[in-house]
Chain A
Amino acid sequence: MKMGLLKNNRKGGIILNENILEMRKISKVFPGVKALDNVDFTVKKGEVHCLVGANGAGKSTLMKILSGAYTEDSGEIFFNGKVLKSHGIQERKKAGISIIYQELSLFNELTVAENVYVNNYPKTAGGAVDWNRMYEDTQKLADSLNIKINARAKISSLNIGQRQLTEIMKALACEAKLIVMDEPSSTLSQSEFEILVKVIKDLKEKGITIIYISHHLEELFIVGNRITVLKDGKFVVCKEVNELNENTLVEYMTGIKISQIETEEKENHRVSEEVVLELKNMCNYKVSNINLTLHKGEVIGLYGLVGSGRTEILQSLFGIEVATSGEIRIKGKKVKIKNTQDAISYGIGLAPENRKTQGLVLMLPVWENMSMVAISKFKEGGRIKYKSINKECQKYKEKLDVKTPSIQTVTQNLSGGNQQKVILAKWLMKDCDILLLDEPTQGIDVIAKEEIYKLVREMTSKGKSVIVVSSELQELLRICDNIHVMYDGKQIMCSNKSNFNSDHILHASVVGRIG
């Protein structure tokens, strides 16, 4: 009967029953950019469909059109056998489309159950909130997905992985048929990711369709059935996972053969004997007895699980959390770093973990963010010289190849990779000697990643030193001279480039000891 109804549909052709979603010839133009150009995107019922593409390829725009946040300029959307008219987010939710964004949208001070049912609290006959039923239903939902979570726990007491699972339960409580997961793994630890993989499998068995967006290509081969690639707002290819491998995928995404990128990075670079930064038994609220020696031109990597104390080391170096004991020496001199101004005066810069909330003032233009730290450089006779700011920012825009219509553009409108470049430009402009990078390539596409690695290389060859915190071991293995592994606030292993062994490092980071 459903089929008959579909055949009679005036606009579309026949929709195969197995396709839960068909987006046909979707186009969307923003001022100055054609974000989507006749994109076709088809998802089968009950599959995990991966959507990939470099930043700016149009993934988010496509998903925002699906969610109802944007309206397409042209094209048609069929969902569950019906044409979706352009209407708001609430209607799409009712139709059964749920999107879980990278930045989770949970209420920290409410319980898991309240978050799950925030859109439709169960009610008693009298119309009051039925708390018992809400907790019971939530617990049932969690049990059915084998999620270990307490329905009465406050969100603020949960870890990131559990919060993500809460989002998934929230989608299910709204009777979602299609769940879009936007970069679900970017903040998850390995074990949390494994739980997510299991939950996705359970969802699939329940007949729920999933669109999975991730920059971590290796994940796609673990969770996905099919992969659609977008590039520059255009559809490139849609294939079964087993017809692809990581290299071919990157080729589709970038149009560049992978072998071209990697070769130039192999050569070793020299590290001088000069010590620029030394930590001796440094402790703070989270880490204890940290010993580090950073040489001029060296890249040190800090690896470990989320919460192992990597970021906290950087916090003390940058004066965000003052070290409670131990020594910090900069160029041989013992220093106290009490606030960020101190850190900057010692030539330290930080590209923080969270670009949007910590790294940039998004509502301000690119030039203002770029010049924020170095602004005193542009002061002449007591007033800021906008001409020199303009020139300098223009220079860095070209040097780092920041893709923005102009340096007057509001920073919010840039893609993640380009925003990260703006942050790097900010510290390059200040000409700092020690750069701290916290997850510098999180959520950034392959091409931009390579550009950032190249920048790090360039900086160290000019005698700057870098400390990188990253959850991607491959990244650290590539760019670091030494890698320190953290576990539970302690340094448990240090490995030199000459004998990097990814298995050992991974093992140490998970079990907390060597071997």
Chain B
Amino acid sequence: MKTKLSVSEILKKYNLIIMLIIFIIISAVLSPDFFTFNNFFNLLQQASIPGIVAIGMTLVIILGGIDLSVGSVLAFSGMITSIVVYRTGNMLGIIAGCLLGIVISALLGMITGVLISRFHLPDFIASLAMMEIARGAALLTTGGNPVFGLNKSFHILGGGFIFDKIAISGVIWIILTVIVALLLKYTIFGRSLFAIGGNSEAAMLSGINTKRNYAITYVICAILAGFAGILTASWMSTGQPTAGTGYELDAIAASVIGGASLSGGAGSVVGTFGGVFLLQIITNIFNLVGLQSYYQRIAKGLIIIFAVLLNKYVSKERK
């Protein structure tokens, strides 16, 4: 009885880590190139941009919402920044471009959040509309053309390495994850997200400003998406209006794999970090083994089903 309990306890607490380890072992067996430092740093770099987007998505999901606009906001922010960087071509221009991208993203997030909290639009619909609007705006900036030939120093942010190995964007991803994890655990705002997601009426009756916190969360999510857009443009040295397509779904998948509940009130950014990594490993090992990317998508789908079933089983055990 006691040992059985501890097994389920371990499963419950570390199910994602166990899954990660299993996948790492499988991948290491499949390809000798997988379990190397170089590949690991590659993974970190590749996962960082979807990872940063997923952090914001997790916050929104804990709140009980969903944000489909992150991919488009990413593209729009990337385009704005790229255009400013291209036009100015100096350090000041880079800083101004980044700031402008972030501010505009924040504004878009604010609009989505207010539409949901003040005007009671369903979150799915409001963010779907914003997804279309932001994508259209991104394409409109250049008539659908990418912006090439960006300043070399702009490339460092998304494409630079520390010690020639560790991607700066990866480090930023880790730092952001830690900051947001602390925010969730140690601030009143963070705790209020769980309360609102768990039961927004009870939260309101406990004096939590649900409308304001809704708006703030969508702003944070959009800022993170916008920042990921800047990193994307920097990494590719190109402003690409079609960037980030489908990222919203990857971010939702990673959050859910990481233990977030789409009905709100549960989730963790550390879990999401693991979720993003897991999805990235799948892409990585398929590339290393040289299998068609079509298989990847099937595998991804299966992983999502498996992870969520595992979470369900584990939380049932807990009851």
Contacts and interface: CB of A to CB of B under 8 A. Distances in A.
Interface of A: 318, 320, 339-341, 343-344, 350, 352, 357-364, 368, 372-373, 375-376, 379, 382-384, 426
A358 B202 contact: yes
Contacts of A372: 191, 195, 203, 206, 208
Given A359-B205, A364-B265, A375-B191, 4 more contacts: A340-B206, A343-B207, A361-B198, A363-B198
Contact of A363 (B182, B209, B265): B265
B188 interface: yes
27 contacts: A339-B209, A340-B205, A341-B207, A341-B209, A344-B207, A350-B205, A358-B205, A359-B202, A360-B202, A361-B194, A361-B195, A361-B198, A361-B199, A361-B203, A361-B265, A363-B265, A364-B194, A368-B194, A372-B203, A373-B206, A373-B207, A375-B188, A375-B191, A376-B188, A382-B187, A384-B188, A384-B191
B179 interface: no
A361 B191 contact: no
B186 interface: yes
B207 A384 contact: no
B188 A357 contact: no
B204 interface: yes
Contacts of B187: 382-384
A341 B209 CA distance: 7
Interface size class of B (residues with CB under 8 A): 20 to 34
Contacts of B191: 368, 372, 375, 384
Contacts, number: 64
B201 interface: yes
A362 B182 CA distance: 24
B9 to A, nearest CB: 12
A352 B205 contact: yes
Contacts of A359: 202, 205
Contacts of B208: 372
A318 B207 CA distance: 10
Which of B191, B199, B208 has the most A CB atoms < 10 Å from its CB?
Answer: B199
B57 interface: no
Interface in B169-214: 182, 185-188, 191, 194-195, 198-199, 201-209
Contact of A379 (B188, B194, B206): B188
A341 B210 CA distance: 10
Contacts of A364: 194-195, 198, 265
Contacts of A382: 187
Contacts of B206: 340, 372-373, 426
A344 B205 CA distance: 10
Given A368-B191, A372-B206, A383 B198 contact: no
Interface string B227-263: 0000000000000000000000000000000000000
A340 B202 CA distance: 11
A379 B266 CA distance: 23
Nearest to B265: A363
A423 to B, nearest CB: 9
Contacts of B198: 361-364
Sorted nearest first, the 9 A-B pairs with minimum C-beta distance are A361-B198, A383-B186, A344-B207, A361-B199, A372-B206, A363-B198, A340-B207, A373-B206, A384-B186
A46 B78 CA distance: 74
Nearest to B182: A383
B317 to A, nearest CB: 10
A372 B201 CA distance: 13
Contacts of A363: 198-199, 265-266
B188 A362 contact: no
Interface in B100-140: none
Contacts of B201: 357-358
A220 B204 CA distance: 38
A265 B109 CA distance: 57
A382 B183 CA distance: 10
A432 to B, nearest CB: 10
A509 B31 CA distance: 80
A443 to B, nearest CB: 17
A362 B205 contact: no
A376 B187 CA distance: 9
Contacts of B265: 361, 363-364
Contacts of A341: 207, 209
B205 A320 contact: yes
A44 to B, nearest CB: 35
A359 B198 CA distance: 12
Which of A320, A362, A368, A372 has the most B CB atoms < 10 Å from its CB?
Answer: A372
A426 B202 CA distance: 12
A465 B191 CA distance: 30
